[in-house]
Structure 1
Amino acid sequence: MTPPRYLYKLLDEAPKEPLPRTLPSTKLDASDGFIHLSTAEQTPITAKLFFRYQRKLWVLQLERTKLEGRLEFSTDPKAGVKDGCAHLHDSQSGLGMMNVVNVLELDRRENEEWTEVEGMQKLR
C-alpha cells in the first residue's frame, strides 16, 4: 500500500481556533498510547463505527509527511477496512497547526449515516 498524502482525525468537539501548536489528546488516544487516524476512504466508516450517535463531527485533514512519530497501518478485520487503520506512535508534537491543513465541520441529518454525509464523500 502506498501511504496516502493525507490522513484524517475525527473529533467530537471543535478544536480551538486558531489551532494551537499541539492539540490535547483525545481520551482514546491517551488511553491507547497512540493517535488514531484514518485514510479518506476509512473516515466515513470510522465515523459510522465510533461516532454513531454524534450529529456533528470535526475532521482534521493532516499532511502525512508533516506528522512526527512512527506511523503504522494495522488491520482490524472487525472494522471492515482492508488496508488497516493508521496509528501514529511516539509523536512528541502530536497534532496541531504544524500538520493540520484543513478542519471540516460536518453535520449529519437525523436518520442519515456518516457514510452518506456529503462532506465525507469529498475527502481525498
Structure 2
Amino acid sequence: MKPFLTSLLLAFATTTAAYAQAPAAAMATPDKTKEVLLVDASCGQCRLGLKGKDCDLAIRLNGKAYFVDGTTIDSHGDAHANNGFCNTVRKAEVQGEIVDNRFKATYFQLLPETTKAK
C-alpha cells in the first residue's frame, strides 16, 4: 500500500507542478532595443483606484493606472503580506504597451523595497 500511496503522491505533485502558474519566459530579460520604464506597481483595486472584482496587478504610468496583462499579482509574492501589492505601492521596471486601456507587459521586474530612514 505504501508504494501505491507514494506513486499517487508523486503523480499528483507532478501534475500540480505542470499546472502551476510561472512567470512567462519573456518577462526574464528586457528587450535591449526598447526603453525600460520605471513605474509604480500595486493592486489596482486596493491602491490605484481602479474598479474590479478581485485584487489584480496594475501600474501607474504618467499619472494614470492600468491593469497589467502578461504577469499576475501572485507572480510577485503574497499580495496581502505587509509588503504586498494590496498593502503598498512598489517600484517596477517594465516594458510593453498600452492596448485597449490595459498595459500589455513584455517585461516586468519588481524592484527591491527601499528602507525608510528613521
* TM-score, scaled to structure 2: 0.23
TM-score, normalised via structure 1 length: 0.23
Higher relative CO (CA 8 A, sep ≥ 6), structure 1 or 2?
1
Highest Rg: 1 or 2? 2
